[in-house]
Structures are given as C-alpha cells and as structure tokens.
Structure 1
C-alpha cells in the first residue's frame, strides 16, 4: 500500500459515483477531483455511513457548509459504502455535502488510507486551488475527527499563501 499523499504533492485525480441531498432529492452523479480546480477542496474519508463517529463528523461538516462556502471550498465525504447507502444516510440526517462511494477502496488506496480489516482510516485532506495537498490529518484509530473550526482555520491559511 502506498503511503499517504504528501504535503505539496498533486492529489490523484479520482472519479467516484456519489450524490448530494438538496433537501428534497438525492442527486446522483460522478464526482471528479480535477473538476474542483481553482477552488480549495476538503476530502473527508470516513469508515462508514450511519455509525456513531462518522455520523457526528458528516453532520458537523454539513452544518458548517456555509463556513466552507465563505472560503469557496468544496467538501466531499468518501467512504466504502455504495451510493444507495449514502442516499439513506444523507436523507436520515439531512446531510448537504456530496457523499462519494469507494466500494473497491480505489480512492482510499490512492490516498494511502486503506487499512486491512477496517476498510480505511479516517482522514481529511485539504487541497489548494492548484490541486496540491496543503494539509492533512490521518487518524490511527479514528475515534475522533477534525472539527469544522480546524478545517476552516487551515483553509484560511490557504487564502493567505
């Protein structure tokens, strides 16, 4: 398994199926990382839909969507579950960020966060508008997650560099 993406490196250009809840409909489509060029991007890898810590994390990021938008940042959640699972998860909790399906863990391997037995490590990657990795956090155990405040602070640093 390759190591996690390194600060300053160009992020892998992944394409994953996913969808986003708009309040009434779950809109499905493919998401390609290179299409976020020109905007900072937050990729949040999480182990599973509708689990305790993952639910708290995705609800926090969804609730913080306006703060991310103020920095023109795109926010995506990525986990091994399929798009049907993501739809049920998004509907249940009103999640407004795109949830992307990585059932074969292709993206998790590309980012170096695939983990035998648990699927993937909880991780957050922040890419600058140029598609280069500017900040990351990869958890060993995944019992906690990076707060919206932490991500906003790190995104704010991108705007000043």
Structure 2
C-alpha cells in the first residue's frame, strides 16, 4: 500500500468509453482513484453517482477522477449507462492494481470470510506522489471531502 509522499504505482487499464488510462501519462494534474467493490451495488452506485455529479467541480480544480474495480469492462459500460455515470471506470480484472494499492483485503460478512476490495480513495498529486488516502470510506459526503482536498493541493 503506497503511503503519503510515496510515488503512486503506475498502471495502464482499460476504461469505459474505449480508452486506456496510464497513470504516469496524467502527471501534471491531480488524479483521484476511488476503488470500489462491485458495479451496481447500493454503496458503489451512490459513490459513483456522487463523483459523477461533482465531475465538473473536479475538472475546474484541474483533477481527473476514475473509479476502479475488478469488474469487467463490459460490466462497467453497462453500469455507467444504467446510472448515467460521467466518471470513467477502470477495469482491473486481474487485480494487479488493487493489490499494488493495498485495497484487496480479507473481508468478513455474517461470519463468512472472503477476499474483496475495501472501499478506498487515493488522491495523487500532480507530481505523481500520494497526497492523501481515505480508507474504509463511508459514502455520504465523501466526494465533497475529496474535492476539498483537491482544492487544497
């Protein structure tokens, strides 16, 4: 798990809209990566909608925002279309990026242990270093808190 002031692990992942996103190619501007467990589940939907509704504010602050999960690109495209999402979603099907960022963790639900993505957001500064990390994110008010942090950079 990269820590504050460390260089964020680079990656190239497929994105909704037919693009590929390479983190190092975005140097010179802040980048927000919000890792979420699954497409079209209640918390993930609320979080993705909140970031989409704030997209213009993030752009005005000079930042790019991406959602990341292990769902397939086809699943992301369906989710984005169904929920009118404007934030690009990145598909990390093999889980390499999730592991590099330390969000692939053992979880426990109703006494059953399983592996999954822990809802986590990274703010990466224009120089490619980690500026802030939010672990075990609670969705209400989160997109606004991240936007405030971007503006404070």
Residue 126 of structure 2: which of 117, 126, 129 is its match?
129
Count of residue pairs the alignment pairs up: 145
- Equivalent residue, structure 1, for 2:109: none
**Structure 2 segments unaligned to the other structure (5+ residues):** 107-113
Unpaired runs of 5+ in structure 1? 20-26
1:151 aligns with 2:146: yes
Q: Measure, in 2, the Cα distance between the counterparts of 1:107 and 1:92.
A: 26
CA RMSD of aligned residues (A): 1.1
Runs of 4+ in 1 over 3 A off after TM superposition: none
Q: Which residue of 1 aligns with 2:5?
A: 8
Find the counterpart in structure 2 of residue 138 from structure 1: 135
CA distance in 2, matches of 1:50, 1:90: 9
CA distance in 1 between counterparts of 2:11 and 2:23 reads 6
Matched, 1:18 2:15: yes
**1:60 partnered with 2:55:** no
Q: What is the TM-score normalised by the length of structure 2?
A: 0.91
Q: Is the counterpart of residue 47 in structure 1 residue 47 in structure 2?
A: no
Tell me the TM-score normalised to structure 1 length.
Answer: 0.87
1:46-125 paired onto structure 2 within 5 Å: 46-116=36-106, 117-125=114-122
Q: Partner of 1:38 in structure 2?
A: 28
Shift of 1:100: 0.5
Once structures 1 and 2 are overlaid, which stretch shifts more, 148-157 or 85-94?
148-157
